[in-house]
């Protein structure tokens, strides 16, 4: 995850889980483990689009949904993939057998809301690629159905019970081009309160 994305994730995390609407750059810098310069760089387009209103030492979040969609539009999930492979195992078996990971996308949505709006055939997770390769060796005989994303200490800190934060799940789903990703997003829009 790029450092500016940490800022967007943190703002939405504080809104969703703590109902905070006013932030300081200094606190975001500390929470995201990035420089204040990075925070200000991340905030600049948000101010231009009217997503936030800057004050002298803080800013207010005015349009959280627009922030979520802006983040989704600049994220490049494909660049985060460090390992992918194919296995004949079904999705539930893959989910059960993946070693020490943080699920995102379809699996994370199902774990979070106890429902899957459509059948899905791929598993996305943040994990140590070396551990995954041992359990799921490289096989490119068919299109991959396991996608391992680059681990990030920030995501590890924000995850809950092996599942990515909901705002990251949304953004990751938004970046997938399957028909069932669209079904998940439609259902997500009825549940995510931003």
* b/e code 91-100 from CB counts within 10 Å (16+ = b): beebbeebee
Q: What angle (nearest 5°) sits at the alpha carbon of residue 128, between those of residues 39 and 38? A: 10
pLDDT given for residue 98 in this prediction = 96
pLDDT, averaged across the chain: 96
Average pLDDT over residues 136-164: 96
Residue 193 pLDDT grade (very low, low, confident, very high; cuts 50, 70, 90): confident
Percent of the chain with pLDDT over 70: 100
Start and end residues for every CATH 1.10.10.10 domain found in the chain: 3-74
pLDDT of residue 166: 97
Sign of the four-CA dihedral 124, 129, 134, 139: positive
pLDDT digits over 4-63, tens only?
999 999 999 999 999 999 999 999 999 999 999 999 999 999 999 999 999 988 999 999
The crossing angle, in degrees rounded to 10, of helices 166-174 and 3-18 is 130
Angstrom distance (rounded) from CA 53 to CA 61: 7
Give the CATH number of domain 3-74; options: 1.10.10.10, 3.30.70.370, 1.10.620.20, 2.30.30.240: 1.10.10.10
Provide the 3-class DSSP secondary structure of residue 43. Answer: helix
């Amino acid at each position: 995850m790029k450092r500016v994305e940490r800022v967007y994730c943190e703002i939405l995390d504080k809104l969703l889980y703590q109902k905070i609407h006013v932030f300081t750059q200094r606190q975001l810098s500390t929470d995201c483990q990035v420089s204040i310069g990075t925070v200000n760089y991340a905030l600049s387009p948000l101010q231009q689009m009217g997503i936030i209103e800057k004050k002298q030492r803080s800013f207010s979040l005015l349009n959280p949904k627009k922030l979520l969609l802006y983040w989704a539009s600049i994220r490049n999930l494909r660049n985060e993939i460090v390992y992918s492979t194919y296995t004949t195992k079904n999705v539930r078996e893959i989910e059960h057998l993946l070693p020490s990971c943080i699920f995102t996308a379809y699996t994370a949505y199902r774990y979070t809301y106890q429902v899957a709006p459509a059948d899905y055939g791929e598993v996305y997770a943040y994990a140590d690629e070396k551990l995954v390769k041992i359990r799921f060796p490289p096989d490119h005989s068919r299109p991959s159905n396991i996608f391992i994303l680059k681990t990030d200490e920030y995501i590890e800190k924000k995850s809950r019970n092996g599942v990515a934060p909901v705002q990251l799940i949304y953004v990751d789903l938004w970046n997938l081009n399957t028909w069932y990703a669209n079904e998940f997003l439609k259902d997500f829009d009825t549940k995510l309160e931003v």
